[in-house]
Amino acid sequence: MPRTGAFTADGKPKVAVYKFSSCDGCQLAILNLEDQLLDLVGAIEVAYFVEARRRELPPPYAIGLVEGSVSTPEEEERIHKIRRDCDFLVTIGACATSGGIQALRNWADVEEFTRYVYAYPEYIKALDTATPIAAHVFVDFELRGCPVNRFQILELVAATLAGRKPAIPTYSLCIECKRRGVSCRLVSAGKPCLGPVTQAGCGALCPAYNRACYGCFGPMELPNVDSLGERFIGLGYSPAEITRMLRSFNGYVEPFKQASDRYAQRD
Amino acid sequence: MANTITIEPVTRIEGHAKVTIRVDDAGKVSEARMHVNEFRGFEKFCEGRLFFEMPLITQRICGICPVSHHLASTKACDAIVGLEVPRPAGLLRELMHMGQFIQSHALHLFHLASPDLLLGFDADPAIRNVVGVIGANPELALKGVGLRKYGQEVIRKLGGKRIHPFDGASPTSMNKGLSAADREELRRGIDRVVGDFQQAVAVVKGYAAQNESLMSSFATFPSGYMGLVDGKGQLELYDGRIRLLGPDLKPWEPDFAPADYLKHIGEHVEDWSYLKFPFYRKLGYPAGTYRVGPLARLNLCRGISTPLARAEWKQFKALGSGGAVEGSLFFHLARVIEGLFAAERARELLDDSDITVSETITLGPVKNAAGVGVVEAPRGTLIHNYWVDENGRLEKVNLIVSTGHNNWAMNRAVNEVAKAFVDGSRLTEGMLNRVEAAIRCYDPCLSCSTHAIGQMPLVLELEGPDGRVMDRKARGGG
């Protein structure tokens, strides 16, 4: 149950937007709601949103939207306070949901990273890993994508206002391709398309432009990554190339991570 | 007792920052610093990837200017493949870049800077935000929304989506052409975009005229200037040679090819910030520090190719009476003049008959072991440099982002403002706002600047001469 303090005196839910290590693109998707943003301002109270405004209202908040992955000791602590402050905590985008592109460093030596870029690496307080928010606290709902689909944010807020479950699909991208009438990148074009294991939500953007899906929405519910990987092998791709394809914007989320580790061993 | 003030997080900038202000025993500011602390590690984790993946990977450095990274990266890949870019592809890329300038400059003016300009530094924080601007000047706010939407639409039409457009440009070509119908739709909207930017220029000029002494005194200091220029020395955002001038606008170095950047640009490191400090090698650090971005570009160019922006640029130059315009607040004016240029340039590109020609070139084998790609991002010069093996696997990556070039200048601006407005004995809201406003002039993009490391809300800390934190004002940050 939401706490009473999570609403303003006139009954509007207080919404907070947080940034962790990320590119800001998912927060910007909120500002990109433009016309809808003007309507939304009337229905909710933006209580905390550093990129957009200085004023902040004290917690608790009805909805917390979190962008970015946990990659510094400060962030590791901060996420616990945010969890306490928010009744309904939602991760927005690939970084918050799966660790994001920076999670590629989880397969490498971070000290080597900092030494490479900085003359005084000892001053850099970075964790060895960049991890999804759900690796630290319980997350109520996840919105996928790099970046997130802004209309899914709108749907999430609208559904929460109406007290219903957000209508966010968990099936594969293939369904969106078929609906859009796009010919299959994998079957017809023989391209290494991650669509069959990737969650829908983007509207089949890349396949519609004759490009194979690179999985920016992350794994669908119960994906069969190995089966797709074997198909890629059949198309002539090496285990190393399959590892590389799986390790991109959502490489550190379990189904992709496990499969990529298996293909890395086969290399 | 001497103190340090920390402001954290700095709001209404892209990303997060922290400022510490050290005061001496007399309560006078002795030094102020802007710290950037976040780690992502792009340069390193890209090693071993294939070079043609970079236009997609590096745009994830930043959600605000993904197109800039996308294009700089694509140009670096072009150099590795060693092929000429077909004219239509060049036009489409430049159009996408203009869309980026329109949306980014509009975002900064209307969402981030206008609350300060329209409502004042001392306005109640409860209204000093984008919602307050909608209340104070709904017409202007709607124009801002419309401009952003148009710029984003250009990007979407060419790259599929607004943020992280996929493969709009791939090495040596564009994956997607512009259909005649899309071109018509964009042409129908462009006159209004030009008109709205003219009005935006008028609003900022009006502000500058009314606040003459503030404009000329607020964070005003000499520096070098760096940016791209075209063959005639005019303002150039997509492709050209690098110009590097001293504070008197005399060349430090004759205009040079982007591929030669390493010969002229060095990077200094301080132990209190993850962001490095680039400088002109011959003069060393800090004598060779310079500024980039709108103010630098309008100071260093010899003209602007489009008529409306050219007329505004002439008036802008007159403000410097022959020399450079040095005040940080003039970044806001320079930014809207550039927005006007981007709109006019987009109109020219849309009128070019080659823009709808689709021509594709197959990605060739690796020809050169290294490639440099440079564009002017909305915030300044952006450099991507890749080294590959014969199979196209990346061996080394070097990125110098716009906000990095301005690192020294932002610190200088914070120092100037802290010394002028911060009274060591107590912290006031207006004081914090002014320190933030000084940083905001540079429109820093902390996602970009922390691509290597990462995170930047603003904390203001008041520190004694011994370095002990005496007072701290932190907003947000968690």
Query: Chain A residues with CB inside 8 Å of B39's CB?
Result: 21, 71-72, 102, 113-114, 124, 126
Interval A176-192: pLDDT, tens? 999 999 999 999 999 99
* Alpha-carbon distance B206 to nearest alpha carbon in chain A (angstroms): 24
Interchain CB contacts (distance < 8 Å): A and B: 193
| CB spacing of B40 vs A35 below 8 angstroms | no
* Alpha-carbon distance B268 to nearest alpha carbon in chain A (angstroms): 9
In chain B, whose CA is at the least distance from the CA of A58?
B476
pLDDT band at B7 (very low <50, low <70, confident <90, very high): low
The structure's pTM equals 0.85
What b-and-e string marks burial along A140-178, b requiring 16 or more CB atoms within 10 Å of the CB? Answer: ebbbbbbbbbbebbbebbbebeeeeebebeeebbbebbe
| CB spacing of A101 vs B45 below 8 angstroms | yes
pLDDT at position B168 is 45
Q: Is the pLDDT of residue B333 over 60?
A: yes
Of the segments B247-251, B394-398, B403-407, which one has the largest average pLDDT value?
A: B247-251
Interface test with B, best of A20, A24, A248 (most B CBs within 10 A): A24
Domains identified in chain A and CATH numbers: 4-162 (3.40.50.700), 173-266 (no CATH)
Domains identified in chain B and CATH numbers: 3-37+420-475 (no CATH), 84-220+327-363 (1.10.645.10)
* Alpha-carbon distance B82 to nearest alpha carbon in chain A (angstroms): 24
Q: Is the pLDDT of residue B348 over 90?
A: yes
Q: Is the pLDDT of residue A135 over 80?
A: yes
Interval A202-244: pLDDT, tens? 999 889 888 899 999 999 999 999 999 999 999 999 999 999 9
Q: Is the pLDDT of residue B2 over 50?
A: no
Average pLDDT over residues B225-248: 97
| CB spacing of A25 vs B164 below 8 angstroms | yes
Query: Chain A residues with CB inside 8 Å of B9's CB?
Result: 50
- Considering only the beta carbons, identify the residue of B60, B125, B130 that sits closest to A249: B60
pLDDT at position B66 is 87
Interval A85-126: pLDDT, tens? 999 999 999 999 999 988 988 887 766 666 655 555 555 567
Percent of chain B with pLDDT over 90: 45
Q: Is the pLDDT of residue B315 over 80?
A: yes
| CB spacing of B164 vs A146 below 8 angstroms | yes
* Alpha-carbon distance B391 to nearest alpha carbon in chain A (angstroms): 13
Interface test with A, best of B36, B51, B139, B453 (most A CBs within 10 A): B453
Least confident of A79-88, B368-377, B447-456: B447-456
Average pLDDT over residues B303-312: 98
pLDDT band at B65 (very low <50, low <70, confident <90, very high): confident
Task: Return all residues near B405 (Cβ < 8 A) that are at least 6 apart.
Answer: B226, B278, B290, B291, B292, B293, B380, B381
Query: Chain B residues with CB inside 8 Å of A211's CB?
Result: 166-167, 175
> Alpha-carbon distance A72 to A75, whole Å?
5
Averaged pLDDT of chain A: 88
Which helix (H) or strand (E) segment holds residue A91: the answer is strand A86-92
pLDDT at position B236 is 97
* Residue, of B119 and A122, whose pLDDT is higher: B119
pLDDT at position A73 is 86
* Residue, of B1 and A246, whose pLDDT is higher: A246
Least confident of A113-127, B219-233, B268-282: A113-127
Q: Is the pLDDT of residue B108 over 90?
A: no
pLDDT at position B116 is 72
Query: Chain A residues with CB inside 8 Å of B45's CB?
Result: 101-102, 104-105, 108, 113
Q: Is the pLDDT of residue B457 over 50?
A: no
Q: Is the pLDDT of residue B329 over 80?
A: yes
Query: Chain A residues with CB inside 8 Å of B166's CB?
Result: 205-206, 209, 211, 214
**Residue A171, Cα to own-chain centre: how many angstroms?**
16
Interval A26-81: pLDDT, tens? 988 887 776 666 566 678 888 888 766 666 789 999 999 999 999 888 889 999 99
Averaged pLDDT of chain B: 83
pLDDT band at B13 (very low <50, low <70, confident <90, very high): very low
Any chain B CB within 8 A of the CB of A130?
A: yes
pLDDT at position A124 is 56
| CB spacing of B149 vs A25 below 8 angstroms | no
Query: Chain B residues with CB inside 8 Å of A202's CB?
Result: 161
In chain A, whose CA is at the least distance from the CA of B174?
A209
* Alpha-carbon distance B65 to nearest alpha carbon in chain A (angstroms): 9
pLDDT at position A113 is 62
* Alpha-carbon distance A117 to nearest alpha carbon in chain B (angstroms): 7
Query: Chain B residues with CB inside 8 Å of A120's CB?
Result: 269, 271
Average pLDDT over residues A164-182: 95
Any chain B CB within 8 A of the CB of A243?
A: no
| CB spacing of A100 vs B13 below 8 angstroms | no
Query: Which CA distances in Å does B83 have to A28, B75, B79, B92, B372?
Result: 35, 10, 7, 17, 14
pLDDT at position B163 is 60
Average pLDDT over residues B315-342: 95
pLDDT at position A204 is 92
Average pLDDT over residues B185-214: 93
pLDDT at position B174 is 56
In chain A, whose CA is at the least distance from the CA of B133?
A53
